[in-house]
Amino acid sequence: MGVEKLENVPFSVARSLFYSSLALSIILLVFLSPFNYPLYPNKALEYLTYWLDPIIFQIGTLGALLLLVYIWLGRRHPERKFYDIRSPFMCVSAFIVLLFFLEVRFDNFFASMFFGIESYWQPLEEPFITSWIEKVSGIQIIVTGDSTPSGFALRQWILTLGIFLILDQPDLYLKKRYGNAVRSISSLALIYVSLARIIRLAHVPTDIAVSIALGTIIFWGVFFLSLYY
């Protein structure tokens, strides 16, 4: 089918990202575990996170990841034209989007089954774009009542790891300053999404730490399964 196999992404390239993501997960679990209570925000932060919906950053990060995948596949096969690389690109992109959709659709069911901790506080109103998407699609992106984990933080972390992994590929041939800019922007997006979920009283800091740890396990689990199978 012409799908770009992950056997072409040796673990040696991802080694640094693997260990740093594990280290970050452990550090966050250690330092944020005591903060298992809501942090009530001021009105300015409530207003900011309502209109600057975290889902904007989530969709933007997903788009950036797909664009980097397209550039990477094109650079790996410079002799091919668009229609030659479209097949692997579409396959990889469909796989990423499918995983994203399934996580949104079933995260609350499976996560609540194994990790769900019922919240005793009342979350703030959902941001306006998220509310609109839920109303139009009929898919409930945010389920109130369960605190751990944060689906938003988990998805954003997985997307961020994907971007970092693609940027580490030596045959991407992206200028260093551009790569550093993308890393910085994606990292800031992760921080904002995580903080926004805390500010909206949807989660507590401990939930974010658990979400990062789960995201690390899921990402590298899929990576190694794809690498060896």
Q: What digits encode the pLDDT tens for the residues 25-81? A: 999 999 998 888 888 888 899 999 999 999 999 999 999 998 888 888 777 777 666
For residue 137, being part of any structural domain is answered with yes
Higher pLDDT, 209 or 131: 209
Overall domain count for the chain = 1
pLDDT for position 158: 92
pLDDT bin (cut points 50, 70, 90) of residue 212 is very high
Q: Cα(14)–Cα(83) distance, rounded to whole angstroms?
A: 29
Q: Which domain range does residue 174 map to? A: 6-35+42-228
Q: Cα(121)–Cα(203) distance, rounded to whole angstroms?
A: 10
pLDDT for position 19: 93
Q: Which residues of 20-40 are buried (b: 16+ CB within 10 A; e: fewer)?
A: ebeeebeebeeebeeeeebee
pLDDT, one tens digit per residue, over 158-205 is: 999 999 999 988 877 778 888 899 999 999 999 999 999 999 888 889
- Do 93 and 68 meet the contact criterion of CB atoms below 8 Å apart? no
pLDDT for position 91: 66
For residue 70, being part of any structural domain is answered with yes
Interval 215-220 mean pLDDT: 90
Q: Cα(62)–Cα(156) distance, rounded to whole angstroms?
A: 9
For residue 10, being part of any structural domain is answered with yes
For residue 107, being part of any structural domain is answered with yes
pLDDT exceeds 60 at position 216: yes
Residue type present at position 147? S
pLDDT for position 72: 83
pLDDT for position 3: 43
Average model confidence (pLDDT) across the chain: 79
State percent of the chain over pLDDT 90. 31
pLDDT for position 26: 96
Half-sphere exposure of 124 (CA within 13 A, CB side): 24
pLDDT for position 106: 58
- Residue 52 in tokens: 């600057």
| Most confident segment among 13-17, 116-120, 191-195 | 191-195
Q: Cα(52)–Cα(200) distance, rounded to whole angstroms?
A: 12
Half-sphere exposure of 18 (CA within 13 A, CB side): 11
pLDDT for position 113: 47
